[in-house]
Chain A
């Protein structure tokens, strides 16, 4: 009997103990926030010293982060990116080879042709395809 009574009391007393735990969680997140603030201050100092813009900083972080989730792109998005100036530069280390072109093919024509093929009969306007000569033998 002596043993069971304090147990009951204990169980009753345990119920309102929840907020205490929450407080613990809050405390942890408080520490985390404080840490982040300190980190941000350090980063600001780093920017200031090294003359790095916020945008550049995000790019740096992005490159060194392990890729999280799936990076997926629809065909349309990929095709749009073909028009960016970076996408047209010749890669630095391309072997000399008959299949390697000196100048980039026009992504315009590429899309043009795709459209032409998908529309089939509307092709008459797009007969330019034959003018794309590929320097391959």
Chain B
């Protein structure tokens, strides 16, 4: 059980549950945190405003927060993950970003997700299902800067891996914070190596920072092992 729990800590929510302080709530947290049906996405395409600097892709901000003690259901998940909005230009990005709390100022068990428009921040999305993510665990106090550097590198197309990047997640947990970047093809080692090297370069991390790559298949497997469920994603 311990092993499974340990494995799950890495895997929860696709953004990693690190709440070691309250193992008794763990299962509920997972259920709440997991990727089920997200809010129905607005289909309206955003475009850069006149004179604005277009981005290579449109992106969508999402936010999720665990509500302790609530039963797992599609409904509760929908309440947990919220779309903040989509943007197509640098200026539009700053408009959203500067009107959102910084991750370092979040309380509780919360995640920001920034994904390309059309890709849901869940393992099962077509763009993610063959993919994986680089995970970086941070001691408290570093997360705001690290998240900002990560998303600026992503929006600015600094990873140079073609279409491979799907999105980025920041997970605020009890004792540490985690940032991760998701890519499409976990088996593409050239891509994952390049993403890792770019992360090292742009995040300016303390030298002892450990980076870990995890495939979503492994994440799902660990999740299922822990919960003993094999259901459609919506039932998680």
Contact B98 A107 (CB under 8 A): yes
Contact A81 B84 (CB under 8 A): no
B19-62 interface (Cβ within 8 A of A): 47-56
Judge whether A134 is part of the interface by a CB distance below 8 angstroms. yes
Interface size in chain A (residues, C-beta < 8 A): 43
Judge whether B90 is part of the interface by a CB distance below 8 angstroms. yes
Chain B residues contacting A90 (CB-CB under 8 Å) are 95, 99
Which A positions have Cβ atoms within 8 angstroms of B? 56, 59, 62-63, 67, 70-75, 77-79, 81-82, 84, 86-91, 93-95, 97-101, 103-105, 107, 110, 113-114, 117-118, 134, 136-137
With A97-B84, A110-B148 in contact, is A72–B102 under 8 Å at CB? Answer: no
Contact A93 B48 (CB under 8 A): no
Segment of B4-12, B150-158, B215-223 in the binding face: B150-158
Chain B residues contacting A117 (CB-CB under 8 Å) are 142, 145
Contact A87 B101 (CB under 8 A): no
In the docked arrangement, what's the CA distance between A75 and B98, Å? 16
Interface centre among B87, B101, B153, B155, by most A CB within 10 Å?
B101
Interface size in chain B (residues, C-beta < 8 A): 46
Judge whether B3 is part of the interface by a CB distance below 8 angstroms. no
CB distance from B194 to the nearest CB of A (A): 14
Which residue from chain A places its CB closest to the CB of B149 in the assembled complex?
A75
Contact B105 A136 (CB under 8 A): yes
In the docked arrangement, what's the CA distance between A84 and B87, Å? 16
With A97-B84, A136-B107, A137-B107 in contact, is A104–B90 under 8 Å at CB? Answer: no
A-B contact count (CB 8 A): 123
Chain B residues contacting A88 (CB-CB under 8 Å) are 94-95, 98
Partner of A71, one of B47, B54, B160: B54
In the docked arrangement, what's the CA distance between A81 and B153, Å? 15
In the docked arrangement, what's the CA distance between A74 and B53, Å? 13
In the docked arrangement, what's the CA distance between A114 and B144, Å? 9
In the docked arrangement, what's the CA distance between A114 and B149, Å? 10
With A73-B53, A86-B49 in contact, is A95–B82 under 8 Å at CB? Answer: yes
**What does DSSP make chain B's interface, helix, strand, loop or mixed?**
mixed
CB distance from A62 to the nearest CB of B (A): 7
CB distance from B114 to the nearest CB of A (A): 13
Which B positions have Cβ atoms within 8 angstroms of A? 47-56, 63, 82-85, 87, 90-96, 98-102, 105-107, 110, 142, 144-145, 148-149, 152-153, 155-158, 160, 202, 204
With A59-B51, A99-B63, A137-B107 in contact, is A75–B91 under 8 Å at CB? Answer: no
Contact A81 B157 (CB under 8 A): no
With A97-B82, A136-B107 in contact, is A63–B48 under 8 Å at CB? Answer: yes
In the docked arrangement, what's the CA distance between A127 and B152, Å? 25
Contact B98 A82 (CB under 8 A): yes
Contact A94 B94 (CB under 8 A): no
Chain B residues contacting A93 (CB-CB under 8 Å) are 85
CB distance from A33 to the nearest CB of B (A): 30
Contact B156 A74 (CB under 8 A): yes
In the docked arrangement, what's the CA distance between A105 and B99, Å? 6
Chain B residues contacting A91 (CB-CB under 8 Å) are 85, 87, 92, 95-96, 99
Which residue from chain A places its CB closest to the CB of B83 in the assembled complex?
A95
Contact A81 B94 (CB under 8 A): yes
Chain A residues contacting B56 (CB-CB under 8 Å) are 67, 70-72
Partner of B100, one of A59, A70, A100, A114: A100
With A71-B55, A118-B204 in contact, is A81–B101 under 8 Å at CB? Answer: no
